[in-house]
Structure 1
Amino acid sequence: MEHAQNDSPEAGSKRTWLVVNPASGSYDDAAFEALCECCTQNAIDLDRVIRFPEQDKLPTAAELDAAGVDFVTIYTGDGTINALVTGLYGWSGAILILPGGTMNLLSIRLHGDVETPDIVARVGKGDFRKERPCVVRCDAGDALAGLMVGPGTAWGEVREAMRDMDIVGFATQAVTAIGESAAGTKVRIAEPRVGKEEGYPLLVLTPEQGTMSVAAYHSETVGDYAQQGVALLQRDFRKGPHDDLGQMDAMTIELAAEAGTSTDEVLPTLIDGESAELPRRARFTVVPCEVDLIVTEAQA
């Protein structure tokens, strides 16, 4: 279940550090300037701007406490958000996550599908609360926005090339992704036994309120690959052909093939868009985030 804090934040607590990632393909100078102006208009003091990783490292809990910062604001993609949030586990402050990436799944979950000025205005008025929404945990880390497992994670590289407007890279990675999805060792849910026994190229686990939704993606025909391409052009390859396998609070995923002679067989994994590797059989659970996030929507 969600772990909401009982103490309501005061509108006067508006001193923040802002984390941005200028190297991100979704970063925009004009949008950054507009955000700074929006904070000023809503009486939020940007005490410091951290340009990660270009100039600065991510702040630590000790640094934030020493500076008397009430909350940290982050305007980046999922990968940097994950690094900041998990790096601040145990901190007594809170984190405001703004839609600064391509898909902004976590921001939408916390604030609804609204623009940055609306979120900042709510915070400026004190119209927010602190909560610890659920994340998906495995031995490789915690996923706040989503976790993907299987050879189909190669489609994530296609999305990155597309985001960076790398046409050659897009074409190259698309060919690789099709090959991996078709020929790579599929993955299946071993516990509980749901879905196809022969497995899928990609399983996507998305944390929700007290649970995680599970979607199994398949690319078995030319038509499937065409649908995947259309989904990419719409900036969301999750819209590709898939089966919804329901809601779970824990599961074990394994390679669908029998163990071979190789000792380095792994589960290819993307945690909030960042590559990771797990053993050929791994456990995934739903747990509460270990630091407060700022929520301005009715449901997190």
Structure 2
Amino acid sequence: MTAPAPPTSWLIVNPASGSNTAKSTETLQAALAERGFRLGRTIAFPDDPLPDIATLEAAGVELVIVYTGDGTVNAAINALAGWSGAVLVLPGGTMNLLAKRLHRELAPEQILDIVAGGGARRGRPLCVRCDAGLALAGLLVGPGTCWSRVRESMRNLAIAEVASEAIGAIRHSATGPFVLAPDNALAREGGYPLVELTPGEHGLQADGYYAEAAIEYAAQTWAVLRRRFREGPHDRLGIADAITLASIDGSALACLIDGEPAECPSPFTFTVAPCGVDLLATAHDL
């Protein structure tokens, strides 16, 4: 019996992402060819536009492989909501939040081996929905998210700006409008400088991060850049289908959606919703 032909695939890369270089893209293209993937086109975002459903259907594409940072992953996947094909996310950025959710710590070549061998599962994992978009891996809320600006300066090698922005980020994290969870009996009355909302198979997990002194704010919010803030003191607020958050002064809620800055009105009820397109996973949900 003849094995079915592998699906026609398109690859999305982003030269500005943490792991993307001309060499890494060539290596990945070779790895795809070695494993029998039929690669029809490589899209270098942002010079090339992200594909839409009509473009993919016209080209007969059944699988989109995304090897970029989290922001481009989020944009590419949300643009394909309603598509009948599937998306394979590979770790091609700095944090690789969604790739870790789908594949844990596997390297791209290991993921491709599993997919080529028929060991991946296709599905639509739950995400966090808000007015500003759909967070596929996680959403941060609160003044502590201001550290994303420091991260961008570091990415752009704007060293002169990093120090001044870091000082401002420490101050804003400690004195900015804290985030309340008014309907949650476990939440602190004074709120939190940072609330993390993590989607998973059972719903939305909420954790409130706090600090007791200025030096702890500096250490904890700096850790946001490295995704290591989970090591700091926090309250587990539970798992639910929805949670309402509000800023202590009624101002807009500063957010990071899969690492990209956004805003939501205050108060706002964050909910879970399935991803709009099938994703390939090689590991249990985190």
Q: Which residue of 1 aligns with 2:273?
A: 287
Partners of 2:32 and 2:259 in 1: CA distance: 28
Which of 179, 185, 209 matches 2:201?
209
1:138 corresponds to:
130
Unpaired runs of at least 5, structure 2: none
1:39 aligns with 2:32: yes
1:148-187 equivalence runs, <5 A: 148-187=140-179
Aligned twin of 1:17 = 10
Deviation at 1:248, TM superposition (A): 2.2
Partner residue, 1:236:
227
Task: Show CA shifts across 1:75-117 (max 9, x none).
Answer: 1111111111111100000000000111212111111211000
Indicate the larger mover: 22-31 or 138-147: 22-31
Tell me the equivalent position of 1:194: 186
**2:258 maps to what in 1?**
272
Task: In structure 2, give the amino acid aligned to 1:125.
Answer: G
Tell me the SS of whatever aligns to 2:91: coil
Query: Is the Cα contact below 8 Å between 1:20 and 1:52 reproduced in 2?
Result: yes
Q: Evaluate the alpha carbon distance shift between residue 76 and residue 283 of structure 1 in structure 2; reply closer, same or farther with a 3 A threshold.
A: same
Letter in 2 for 1:20: V
Instruction: List 4+ stretches of structure 1 deviating above 6 A.
Output: none
Task: Give the SS at the match of 1:27.
Answer: coil
Q: Shift of residue 137 of structure 1?
A: 0.5
Contact kept, 8 Å, 2:221 with 2:229, in 1: the verdict is no
Letter in 2 for 1:215: D
Closer, same or farther: CA 247–254 of 1 in aligned 2, 3 Å: same
From 277, 282, 285, give the equivalent of 1:296: 282
Q: What does residue 126 of structure 1 align with? A: 118
Q: Does 1:48 align with 2:41?
A: yes
Q: For the structure 1 residues 163 and 206, does the alpha-carbon distance in structure 2 shift closer, same or farther, using more than 3 Å as the test?
A: farther
Deviation track 1:156-212 (CA, whole Å, cap 9, x = no partner) reads 222333344443333222112101111111111123343111111111111111312
1:23 CA drift (Å): 2.3
Q: SS state of the match for residue 98, structure 1? A: strand
Instruction: Give the whole-Å Cα distance in 1 for the aligned partners of 2:178 and 2:216.
Output: 16
Q: What per-residue deviation string (whole Å, max 9, x for no partner) do you get for residues 2-60 of structure 1? A: xxxxxxxx863332100111123442232222111111110112210111112x11101
| SS of residue paired to 1:191 | coil
Answer with 10-19 or 112-121: which moved more. 10-19
Measured on the aligned residues, the alpha-carbon RMSD in Å equals 2.1
Query: Distance between the aligned counterparts of 2:224 and 2:267, measured in 1?
Result: 29
What is the rounded CA distance, in whole Å, between the counterparts of 1:213 and 1:298 in structure 2?
A: 16
How many residue pairs align between the two structures? 283
1:19–1:75 contact (8 Å) kept in structure 2: yes
User: C-alpha offsets along residues 118-146 of structure 1, whole Å, 9 cap, x if unaligned?
Assistant: 01111222221211001001111110011
The verdict on how the C-alpha distance between 1:142 and 1:229 changes in structure 2, with shifts beyond 3 A counting, is closer
Give the equivalent residue in structure 2 for 1:262. none
Contact 1:98/1:116 (CA < 8 Å) preserved in 2? yes
Contact 2:97 2:258 in 1 (8 A): no
Identity rate, percent: 46
- SS, match of residue 190 in structure 1: coil
Q: Which stretch has the larger CA shift, 32-41 or 19-28? A: 19-28
The alignment's TM-score, normalised by the length of structure 1, stands at 0.87
